[in-house]
């Protein structure tokens, strides 16, 4: 029996990096994991790793989280497969360079859509079921750039700052339903977005802890690895 036994967790960006490591770690703790991402083959690779270890049930749902219709379709499929949604990990991200003076409207809009609008859409989608169950744990993956910015990464920094504000707002609005929302900054990880850093599996213990917080646990906080 794992600490997340029987829980259903949605993980965006589950095809690689931190998303994949989190999906595997959550499955090892007994969770049913829903794998969201834009690249089907990567999601299937994550699902295969979970299946090979015989550690849990996974559902692959290719989804562009910035598209409201695709999010709606994904939620319909999830509802058909699971009675409840307990955990949401907003991990999917786009980390692209661009100074304020040089970013085009399209480049800015694309990064805000993936890094901020997507988490908003998923959060909005899961809240009705979480409210119904009077239980939910939402974890938004953030970055140090949210508070100190970074020259050359204007859109990403702004989106992450907005995501932390969304986290605090959600925590305040959903407290009466035992829905806890927190941000998590894993630091620099070695992923497709970054060639150096920690192995993503190093930080999954923190995410398991946040995903299993007891009633009255921390909410509206930003946890840094």
Please give the Cα distance from 162 to 189 (Å, whole number): 21
Domain covering 8-224 assigned CATH 3.40.50.1820 in the classification: no
pLDDT band at 52 (very low <50, low <70, confident <90, very high): confident
Predicted confidence (pLDDT) per residue in 92-120, tens digit: 999 899 999 999 999 999 999 999 999 99
**Residue extents of the structural domains in the chain:** 8-224
Instruction: Indicate if 184 belongs to the active site.
Output: no
Q: Which H or E run contains 34?
A: strand 32-37
**Three-state SS at 215:** coil
Cα–Cα distance measured from residue 134 to residue 202, given in angstroms and rounded to the nearest whole number: 31
Which has the higher per-residue pLDDT, 26 or 55? 26
Distance (Å, rounded) from C-alpha 62 to C-alpha 205? 26
What 8-state DSSP symbol labels residue 177? Answer: G
Average pLDDT, integer, range 212-224: 97
Q: What is the pLDDT of residue 218?
A: 98
Give residues with Cβ within 8 angstroms of 189, minimum separation 6: 17, 18, 197, 198, 199, 200, 203
* Dist. CA 29–CA 6, nearest whole Å: 9
Task: Tell me the per-residue pLDDT of 140-173, one tens digit each, with 9 for 90 and over.
Answer: 999 988 988 778 899 999 999 999 999 999 999 9
Residue 179 has pLDDT above 90, yes or no: yes
Q: Which residues, in sequence order, are CB contacts of 133 under 8 Å at separation 6+? A: 84, 86
Distance (Å, whole) CA 57 – CA 73 = 20
Q: What is the mean pLDDT of residues 37-54?
A: 94
Among residues 153, 156, 184, 225, the one annotated as catalytic is 156
Q: Is the pLDDT of residue 86 over 70?
A: yes
> DSSP character for 220?
S
- Copy the structure tokens of residue 221: 């906080």
């Amino acid at each position: 029996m794992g600490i997340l036994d029987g829980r259903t967790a949605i993980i965006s960006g589950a095809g690689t990096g931190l998303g994949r490591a989190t999906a595997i770690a959550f499955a090892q703790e007994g969770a049913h994991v829903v794998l969201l991402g834009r690249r089907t083959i990567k999601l299937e690779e994550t699902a295969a790793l979970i299946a090979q270890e015989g550690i849990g049930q996974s559902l692959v749902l290719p989804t562009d989280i910035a598209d409201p219709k695709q999010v709606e379709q994904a939620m319909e499929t999830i509802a058909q497969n699971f009675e409840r949604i307990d955990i949401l990990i907003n991990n999917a991200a786009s980390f692209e360079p661009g100074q304020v003076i040089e970013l085009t409207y399209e480049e800015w809009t694309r990064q805000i859509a993936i890094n901020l609008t997507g988490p908003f859409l998923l959060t909005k989608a899961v809240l009705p079921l979480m409210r119904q169950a009077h239980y939910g744990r939402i974890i938004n993956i953030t970055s140090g750039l949210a508070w100190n910015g970074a020259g050359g990464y204007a859109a990403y920094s702004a989106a992450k700052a907005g995501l932390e504000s969304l986290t605090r707002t959600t925590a305040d609005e959903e407290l009466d339903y035992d829905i806890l929302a927190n941000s998590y900054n894993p630091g620099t990880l070695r992923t497709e977005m970054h060639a150096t850093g920690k192995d993503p599996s190093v930080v999954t213990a923190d995410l398991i802890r946040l995903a299993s917080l007891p009633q009255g646990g921390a909410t509206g906080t930003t946890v840094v690895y």
